[in-house]
Amino acid sequence: MEPNAIRMKAIAINFNEIRVYLSKNYYNGISSKFYLKDLESDELILLTGDALDSSDDPDFQKYAFHVSFHMGRVYKIVDAYGLTCFLDFSYLSMCKEFDELYFYEGDDLGNCYTREKTTFKVWAPLSTGVILKIIKDGKDFLYPMVRGLKGVYSYTVEEDLENAHYFYLIKHAGNYDISMDPYAYAASSNGRTNIIVDLQKLSMPPHQLPPLEHKTDAIIYETSVRDFSMSSTSGMKNKGKFAAFTEPHTSTDSGNPTGLDYLSCLGVTHIQLMPINDFATVDEKNPSELYNWGYDPAQYNVTEGSYVTDPNDGYKRVYEAQQMIEFIHSRGMRVVLDVVYNHMHDVNMNALEKTVPHYFFRRNDDGSLSNGSWCGNDLNTTAKMCRKYILDMCKRWQVLYGVDGFRFDLMGLIDIETMKLIDAQGKALDSSFLIYGEGWNMMTALAEDKRTTIQNNRKVPHIGFFNDFFRDTLRGTNQMETKGYFSGDTYKTNDAMKAICNLDMFEYISQSINYVECHDNATCYDKFQISNYDEDEETKKKRLRLLLAAVILSQGIPFIHSGQEFFRTKGGLQNTYNAGDQVNALDWNRKDFEIDTVQFVQFLIHLRKNNPCFRYADYDMIRANVQLENIDHRMIQYKLHQDDGEYQDIIVYFNASTDSVEVDVEDGYTVLHHTEKGKIIDGKLSIDGVCMAILVR
């Protein structure tokens, strides 16, 4: 429709109030009377109300009328000259009464398939009609759905619809719009239709992993489904697919393990997968043409088709993701799923907006979209049905796919109450469930005290946060030239001690996700090429090893970016979300070149796993058993005691300066590790510059 040609529009702004907008180019915007016409009964009601001051609007004269109407019926407004327009109900979703009137508690939205029949239900309380379109055996079938309580439209088709395709035609203000099903289980390529599958054929066997006694027992390794296998060096056949994770005995050009064989040997406990739900900017039929990390969700409810061997096969959409997770479980590792419940790729093109306009996306006081995500929209997580939808989808990923935790992208945009409910739901299903996310304080249209930010961590004591103080102190900020303690800024020695054992930042130490590198921003290797440009390559790598050691041995939960353990590079680029496979694909041959560092990381992970002093679960244990000391304003002494484990006492020395520092060693200590193979001589040990040592007793 040409906007400049609109002569009249009518909007229900409350459940007993209508606003009519009459073009000032049409009889100067003046009409002596208006009627409300019920198209079902043909009843014509004369409206009484007032013209509003419209001096601030150059295009329309505004009128306000108080009148009652029935939701689900089709109405037109008629002016004194016979001009008509449909009454638009879509703005009612922003009324404070809307949730009370239309919140639906049922767990039966979407399609419920049996061989004999399939029942479809969609929550669309503002619509004036919904048509179900089924595509089966090359033929189209249309079924008008029946409006029920709380604005839920339903229809049952009495035949076997397995593998049939479908979508909804939803009517708002006289126009039908095509919408996918927000609760569907599968879709065809690029989200053209949803597909009906038999869930009885897709049940997951329960995994038998031992319980996670403490969250601090976790060691998280982040990777992307596509990046993990895409390189020619991966040795995997199903490049960029879920199926690559199920391939055994894959190897580099030199014959060394890659894939899950490698990760299970590395020793990490949790694989964090970057988003695997359907995202918008990769053509699923031509996935090599475009690249994206996946933080642009199109459908929350189905898997990304470019990761499936056949994106038009509804069963493979589910089954291949299930298989990937099952294979990871079989290697003794858990799966954390990166979820993006803070925004969607296109506010107008997704099923949430099309089924219930203006409801699922947060608004500013003036009605404009909130944009704390910097992606054009924020999900309205305090709206009851939006909150329920997020909870329902989280439960689906946990129950149908078997995930063991969630990493929340831009978690600061999500309200605290929603996050607490997600955490409680996850723990009720699995006591070992892990939830953490980005707690940045974004400028969204939600009160700051209600945001799940790192500043509000004490309000969500069971949810973890990426610790940017840890990152910036030990590595330097995201500005490439800045230095942290381990890149040589020894003025930060005291802050580095605080980062390694942070007693003040969180309610519980298990909330601290200790990281210096993730998919965002430059890799540490690339950053050190800039911040430490005046040092030779080997010195930079020594610093990177110290940084890895600090991540793995600090109190809290360690987080490693895939390839960090063999100095991953993205050629100096930072935000590589669409930079392509050449930049983002994991170069497995680099692992072979840096095998000494990989083995060092394996040693550190083994040390952490076998000595609980590195993963104390509460502050009282840390205060009683951990001491840190600043040695000569340049070196950190990290001293730990434990009653159980390989050793009774452990001392870790981190020397990020370029100077050697000599320390006195108590009787009974031996050197477990020393970067320069140093030895204790006459009760003294020299810790060389850019070096670390681990002593045990």
Residues annotated as catalytic are 409, 438
Strands 139-144 and 84-88: unpaired
Angle at 419 between CA 413 and CA 425, to 5 degrees: 150
Pair of tokens at residue 562: 């895939």
Residue 255 has a CB neighbour count (10 Å cut-off) of 8
d(CA 311, CA 440): 35
d(CA 527, CA 312): 41
Pair of tokens at residue 30: 């003046």
431 by DSSP, 3-state: which?
Answer: coil
Please name the amino acid found at residue 7: R
d(CA 640, CA 351): 54
Cβ–Cβ < 8 Å for 657, 663? no
d(CA 410, CA 412): 5
Pair of tokens at residue 294: 């996946």
Angstrom CA distances, 655 to 254, 460, 631, 683, stand at: 35, 36, 9, 19
Strands 434-437 and 110-113: unpaired
Which residues on adjacent β-strands are paired with residue 112?
119
d(CA 624, CA 641): 9
d(CA 495, CA 451): 27
One DSSP character per residue, 583-635 reads HHS--HHHHHHTHHHHHHHHHHHHHHHH-GGGG-SSHHHHHHHEEEEEETTTE
Q: What is the side-by-side order of every strand in the sheet holding 118-123?
A: 110-113, 118-123, 152-157, 146-147
Q: Quick one: which of 471, 384, 370 has its CA closest to 412?
A: 370
